[in-house]
Amino acid sequence: MEASRLSEIDLFDGMSDDDLAACAEWFDEREFPAGKSPVKQGDFSYRFFIVLDGEVEVRRDFELLARLGPGDFFGEMGVTEGALRSARVTPITHCTLASMMTWNYREMADRFPAVSNRIEQKIAERASP
């Protein structure tokens, strides 16, 4: 993935070009058509995702929890906690997602505490009713 894509995402604000390049190496980009879910509720959690283009819906037990667009991320709770997926994520438009494996996520969180802190803040927000 191109580091310049990450520089446009708030999660990576303030990072140097070298740090963005390091993170970009861990991500893969993949396109998904509307309706093709990359994450299903109850699946094993082994990837962290960022929406680069398009829009996705997050549903738990068919209840709409959120709509996410460019710059938003999902899958952080599963890879952080080693838990099964708590929700299904389905593109509602054609979208491009960046994803990284759990072990890369952990390395990113260890190397870049500012990114980790932003993700932890989002986890806390999503956990609050």
Q: What is the pLDDT of residues 5-17, one digit of tens each?
A: 999 999 999 999 9
Please give the residue that has the higher pLDDT: either 22 or 126. Answer: 22
Q: Is 39 helix (H, G, I), strand (E, B) or coil?
A: strand
Q: Domains in the chain, start-ordered, CATH in brackets?
A: 28-127 (2.60.120.10)
- The answer on pLDDT for 129 being more than 70 is no
Closest CA to 7 of 71, 99, 95: 71
Which of 51-55, 66-70, 75-79, 86-90 has the least mean pLDDT? 75-79
Instruction: Say whether pLDDT at 109 is over 70.
Output: yes
